[in-house]
């Protein structure tokens, strides 16, 4: 009986501890966290005004300056921090996302496109993941907020954007987020959820856009095999007709390639140091590459162009 009570108490403590997990940014803003599969995400959009080393991220209100920037910057929708900061967070250009000063708290990073695709897969695929990640109801989203259940507890919000042509737009209609995934010198991968759509859409976005950011917790591991997986390289990326998977430890790998709908369109095994995959049959766009050994898995993003 005593053992049963002790086990029950430990279980309750574990649940309470898990529910109470938070992370704090440089400014002291506290964010709730949410687990999606094996990932741990911030439950709110980032609103920090300093990089994690204390350097301030400039708040640029003047549109004529914003649209010319090639360095990190932030803003608030309609330059109205009092109304929008506490709900929707800050809008950042991609140069802030990609800064060596690091925008996320210690042990966290801006989520990559592969990490978004992994979350999608866990939630049932691209066509339904948006609905499961959007905040339910129409308090913040424009009606009808199609398919929104927030069953994942991600609580995606429609913070709108600042683009280098039209300035501020689409708040309450679109939730837009940067990924840490670069596309080329002027474009990076961004994604959005829409009030009339249950899925998630990915685009190559001008780095001068200001959109929301979600941080994701770094993977904690001391496992040698996982460290070996981390050494695997995939190039060129973006790729044209073929991609090389460099496997320096000659591990036996299972490779699966997924499109943005969550469909597995290629599956193969390989164990050489240099492994070539033919991409000539693929349409241009973004793909997720799942690389697995017997016990461990890593995800990488691949752009076909």
pLDDT at residue 227, as a whole number: 62
CATH class of 224-304: mainly beta
Q: How many angstroms separate the most distant Cα atoms in the chain?
A: 71
- The per-type count for the chain, helices as H runs and strands as E runs, is 7, 19
pLDDT exceeds cutoff 90 at 299:
no
pLDDT exceeds cutoff 50 at 283:
yes
pLDDT exceeds cutoff 50 at 20:
no
**Domain ranges (residues) in the chain:** 24-217, 224-304
Q: Tell me the average pLDDT across 42-66.
A: 97
pTM beyond 0.85: the answer is no
Higher pLDDT, 85 or 224: 85
Residue recorded with tokens 């309450």: 172
pLDDT exceeds cutoff 70 at 286:
yes
Q: Exposed e or buried b for every residue in 213-244, given b needs 16+ CB within 10 A? A: bbbbbeeeeeeeebebbeebebeebbbeeebe
Which percentage of the chain shows pLDDT scores above 90? 71
Of residues 246, 207, 274, the one with CA closest to residue 72: 207
pLDDT at residue 11, as a whole number: 40
Identify the band that residue 226 occupies on the pLDDT scale cut at 50, 70 and 90.
low
Sheet holding 30-36, edge to edge: 22-24, 30-36, 39-42, 215-217, 108-110
pLDDT exceeds cutoff 60 at 116:
yes
The overall average pLDDT reported for the chain is: 89
């Amino acid at each position: 009986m005593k053992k049963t009570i002790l086990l029950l108490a430990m279980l309750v403590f574990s649940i309470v501890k898990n529910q109470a997990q938070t992370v704090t940014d440089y400014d002291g803003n506290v964010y709730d966290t949410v687990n999606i599969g094996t990932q741990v995400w911030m439950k709110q959009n980032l609103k920090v005004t300093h990089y994690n080393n204390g350097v301030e991220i400039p708040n640029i209100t003047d549109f004529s300056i914003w649209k010319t920037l090639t360095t990190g910057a932030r803003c608030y929708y309609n330059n109205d921090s009092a109304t929008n900061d506490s709900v929707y967070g800050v809008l950042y250009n991609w140069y802030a996302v990609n800064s060596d000063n690091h925008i996320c708290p210690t042990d966290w990073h801006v989520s990559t496109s592969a990490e978004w695709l992994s979350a999608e897969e866990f939630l049932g695929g691209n066509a339904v993941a948006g609905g499961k990640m959007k905040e339910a109801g129409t308090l913040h989203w424009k009606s009808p907020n199609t398919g929104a259940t927030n069953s994942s507890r991600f609580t995606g919000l429609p913070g709108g954007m600042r683009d280098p042509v039209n300035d501020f737009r689409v708040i309450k209609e679109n939730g837009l987020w940067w990924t840490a995934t670069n596309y080329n010198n002027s474009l990076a991968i961004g994604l959005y959820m829409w009030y009339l759509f249950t899925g998630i859409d990915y685009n190559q976005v001008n780095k001068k856009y200001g959109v929301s950011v979600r941080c994701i917790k770094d993977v904690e591991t001391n496992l040698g095999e996982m460290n070996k997986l981390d050494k695997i390289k995939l190039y060129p990326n973006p790729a044209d007709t073929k991609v090389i998977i460099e496997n320096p430890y000659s591990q036996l790998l299972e490779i699966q390639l997924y499109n943005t709908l969550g469909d597995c369109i290629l599956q193969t095994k390989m164990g050489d140091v240099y492994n070539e995959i033919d991409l000539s049959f693929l349409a241009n766009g973004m793909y997720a590459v799942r690389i697995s050994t017997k016990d461990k898995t890593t995800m990488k993003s691949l752009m076909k162009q």
